[in-house]
Amino acid sequence: MAEQPMKYYQEPVHVVGTTIFLTVLNIVLISLRFRVRSLQKLPLGLDDWIMIPALIMTMLLGIDIGYGVSRKALAYRTEVPPGSTGDLTFEVITDQILLSFKIGYMFNITFVLAIGFVKSSILLFYLRLFSIKNGKVRVILITLIIIVVMWTVAWLFESIFNCKLNFWAVQGTSQDLKNKCVDFSAADLTLCITDFVIDVAIIIFPIPLIWNLNASTRRKIATSGVFLLGIGTIATSLVRVVVVSKIVAIGLATDSDQVLTITAYVYWGMVETGIGILVACLPTLAFLFKDITFKSIMTATKRLFCKVHLNSTSLDNDSIQAQSLSNDIYQKKTSISTKSNLSSRPWMLATSGDDPMLDQDSYAMKDIINARESV
């Protein structure tokens, strides 16, 4: 089997690092979501509570991926058994390939539940936010929620019974999967396409409603920006469509690395789920930043620079005062020393202008007089 080049999202460090980061981020986001509801003194709604099972499913996805990488069933090349003469993907079954298929099977079930909870939470939040005075909006939102629930249940059953009642086929070879199961690559592509379409509908839905609100244009743009951050979810959904399309094109070909193929599929599924939870929490978490505007940021920045400048000026003044005090002390010491010298030399004049010490000729004459008196 020819070696399939490894992408960055198929490398162990990147796969594990991204999984851990998204899991921790989602825990923090959902915790903050509940904290915001407490600060707002609002009761927790169904859109809040449903994020808990979404988080649990996401954590299970992370555990699934982490276990697979630790056992080299993900993010590693398919290992060819020593002395193997058969076709690895069709005739030879190894523990690595077997575990990789199991991880992919469990991932699909958990992923459908996780992403279904996230989509439902976003729509329930819309229902709380936009349908208070608009009956038509409420009907549309309830219809979308029913569609998402039916979509989730349908794909959950498809994932569980992909091989009908031949559950043992998941633990078999690639040939068993082809003969006993539905074409799972084509089914996964359909899942990704429908997932992408629903994401687009969910993200775009609130924009017209926001622009019909009685608010300033700046406020409408800011609010729309928060909701349009969901484009990140659309982008990851689109990436998954592209990745699965390539998997469908490759199929279970003998020259494809099955472990790396499954790695790419689960990686982008994890990314989509993690970003989905981020998007679902952002509108609620915006409450924490409601007082933060461009003007407030600029004001805070100016205050910071002014404080630094004042501290610097204060230090300079302290240095000047210390230098002045030092000069005063020096001058006092010099004055005392001068008076002491004058008292010890009564022949010296009181004024500095008549001081012979300042006149070299007078000082020399005094020495001559003293010499003559000693003789």
Short-list 4, 49, 25, CA closest to 277: 25
Distant-in-sequence, close-in-space partners of 110: CB < 8 Å, separation ≥ 6: 57, 60, 61, 64
Q: In the 8-state DSSP scheme, what is residue 375?
A: -
Residues 190 and 123 in one domain: yes
161 and 30 fall within a common domain = yes
Domain ranges, residue 283: 8-289
The pLDDT score that the predictor gives to residue 94 is 79
d(CA 118, CA 47): 9
| Total number of domains in the chain | 3
Helices (H) and strands (E) in the chain, counts: 13, 0
Q: Are residues 170 and 250 in the same domain?
A: yes
Within-domain flag for 125? yes
Domain boundary (274, 289, 304) is at: 289
Question: Using N-to-C axis directions, what is the helix angle for 51-70 and 12-40, rounded to 10°?
Answer: 160
Does residue 269 share a domain with residue 162?
A: yes
Task: Give me the phi and psi of 56, to 5 degrees please.
Answer: -60, -45
The residues, ordered by sequence, that sit 6+ positions from 284 with a Cβ below 8 Å of its Cβ are 33, 36, 37, 48, 125
Tell whether the model's pLDDT for residue 177 goes beyond 70. Answer: no
Together in a domain, 183 and 243: yes
Residue 350 has pLDDT above 80, yes or no: no
CA distance 169 to 176: 6
The tokens for 338 are 């001068």
> Do 148 and 252 reside in the same domain of the chain?
yes
Same domain, yes or no: 339 and 190 = no
Same domain, 73 and 211: yes
Same domain for 308 and 271, yes or no, is no
Verify that 66 and 120 share a domain, yes or no: yes
Q: Is residue 115 part of a domain?
A: yes
Q: How confident is the model at residue 246 (pLDDT cuts 50, 70, 90)?
A: confident
Query: What's the mean pLDDT in 81-108?
Result: 75
- Residue-wise pLDDT tens digits, 262-320: 899 999 999 999 999 999 999 899 888 776 554 555 565 566 666 555 555 555 555 55
Final residue belonging to a domain, choices 265, 289, 313? 289
Residue 3 lies in a domain: no
Q: Where are the beta strands (DSSP E) in 170-223?
A: none
pLDDT tens for each residue of 34-74: 999 999 998 999 999 999 999 999 999 999 999 999 999 99
Sorted by sequence, the CB contacts under 8 Å of residue 175 that are 6+ apart come out as 90, 91
Asked if residue 97 lies in contact with residue 259, where contact means CB atoms within 8 angstroms, the answer is yes
pLDDT (0 to 100) of residue 28? 97
| CATH number assigned to the domain comprising residue 152 | 1.20.1070
Kindly state whether residues 339 and 241 are assigned to the same domain.
Answer: no
Q: Report the alpha-carbon angle 233-239-244, nearest 5.
A: 125
**169 falls within a domain:** yes
Share of the chain above pLDDT 90, in %: 38
Q: Residues of 223-232 as b/e, b for ≥16 C-beta within 10 angstroms? A: beebbbebeb
Q: In whole angstroms, how far apart are CA 353 and each of 24, 331, 334?
A: 85, 19, 17
Half-sphere exposure of 144 (CA within 13 A, CB side): 25
Same domain, 156 and 70: yes
Note whether 171 and 196 are within 8 A (CB). no
Identify which has the larger pLDDT, 267 or 214. Answer: 267
CB within 8 A of 182, min separation 6: which ones? 158, 162, 163, 164
- From the list 112, 113, 122, 110, the residue with the least C-alpha distance to 48 is 122
pLDDT of residue 197: 95
